[in-house]
Amino acid sequence: MSRPRQPRLLDRYELVQPLGAGGMAKVYLARLADPSGFDRHFALKLLESVDDPAGAEEQVLFRHEARVLGSLHHQHIAQIFDAGVAPDGAHYLVMEYVHGATLREVLEAARHAGRQLPLGFGLTVIAAAAAGLHHAHQRRSADGPMGIVHRDVSPSNLMIGHDGSVKLIDFGIAWSRNRSLETRRGIVRGKPGYMSPEQLMELPLDGRSDVFALGVVAYEATTQTRAFRASSEHETARRVVQGKVRSPAAARPGYPAELTELVMTALAPDPASRFASAGELARACADVAGRLGLSLGPRAVSDVMRSLFPDAREPWLAPPMPRPRRRHRHRPAPRPGPRQRQPRRAGGGSAGPGDGAQRRHRHRGDAAQRAGPGDHARAPRRRSDDDALRVAGRRRLLSAAGRSHFAARGRHRRGTVVGCCWRPRPTGSCSASRSRSASAA
């Protein structure tokens, strides 16, 4: 029996299992346990040490993300608790673990279930994300406004908790004024389908760029269709810049006019025509919900999560998955067939020890050697490689009982297996006909 694999330790944290990966970083479920009884689980983001220019740039972005997250304290932003460098040079961030799924996974689950998400769910998610973004946009340091822009608002970076919480995650490519690494000209970071026109054109950014991205998420969360879907990223970027988007009322029948106005205002190609801030978008969501008679809050989210993920338990409470058995690649030995009578010599008596070859070869290829004087002997025929492969393939498909029946049928009736067919031999080569001819003589 193999020994259980020891968990990997990273400073004080035990890496329990992987949760996901993105770019050069991986996210693990980590556990911090203390002899005094303190026990808590976290989401640990790990960036392995890489000795190349790309790895060095990722490390700079990683440290910048730690500084940005350390300055943010909001209920709709995943909190950071620790950051450091392991002895092997790997960088890590210890963040709040949100028990739930990303908005992308929620949309996929609803699509597979054939369900339409309630408008109250989508408005709650957008209002919560807008509140978190407004907090980040307004954050100040000792030197003045930090000017934080997320730049990667998308369904994959919105965590939806089973308890109804909504958390904004992944500030890995966020921009701020105290950033030490500037994006090189011609390199655009983000997802083209969720980037603002000014971000695609590499123009100066502010909080209204995140408002546009959140408008794209609002379109998708309330209609369950992509706003700027195209055959290629280049075509998607062209549609974003030109503002070619279908009205959400055309994507979902019965879509309210008030919600259409909200989404299309957030998706305006000109930043001056959008909501002035993410906070204004959050207030607009609450106003539209009030006019439509929708209730916003954690319950509108938890009801949907409970219906889509009814058996969701924390990973450390779920029963362990059984380890699959290793399949043996070698072919098992065939089961022995029924015992057969030894062939007789031409001069009488049974075969002796020197006739091992005659005892081993009992197929029809040796019929000529076993034939009597009055029999019509057939010329010995060697089985070809193709016949052997076909027989081997056929026997692998049979069950254990089928193989036994196959062996008994082939040995007792002295048949020949060719492909998947059984052909009887001529009666002249059968031992029974040999005995009959001897008695007749």
pLDDT at 435: 47
SS3 content of the chain, % helix, strand, coil (to 5): 40, 15, 45
**303 included as an active-site residue:** no
Q: Which two tokens stand for residue 86?
A: 């392991």
What is the spatial distance between Cα 232 and Cα 100, in angstroms, rounded to a whole number? 31
Asked if the domains at 10-97 and 99-175+189-315 fall in one CATH topology, the answer is no
Task: Write b or e for each residue in 102-112: b if 16 or more Cβ atoms lie within 10 A of its Cβ, otherwise e.
Answer: bbbbbbebbee
- The C-alpha angle 146, 149, 155, rounded to 5 degrees, equals 145
pLDDT at 415: 45
User: What is the mean pLDDT of each successive set of 10 residues along the chain, which is 441 residues long?
Assistant: 59 88 84 84 87 75 91 95 89 94 96 95 97 96 91 95 95 81 60 92 94 97 93 91 92 94 96 96 96 94 95 76 57 61 54 50 48 51 59 56 51 45 49 46 43
pLDDT at 201: 92
CATH superfamily of 99-175+189-315: Transferase(Phosphotransferase) domain 1 (1.10.510.10)
Domain ranges of the chain: 10-97, 99-175+189-315, 380-440
Out of 34, 52, 88, 152, which one is annotated catalytic? Answer: 152
Q: Which two tokens stand for residue 114?
A: 């054939």
pLDDT at 395: 57
CATH superfamily of 10-97: Phosphorylase Kinase; domain 1 (3.30.200.20)
For residues 216 and 223, the answer to whether their CB atoms sit within 8 Å is no
pLDDT at 418: 45
The continuous run of DSSP H or E covering 303 comes out as: helix 298-308
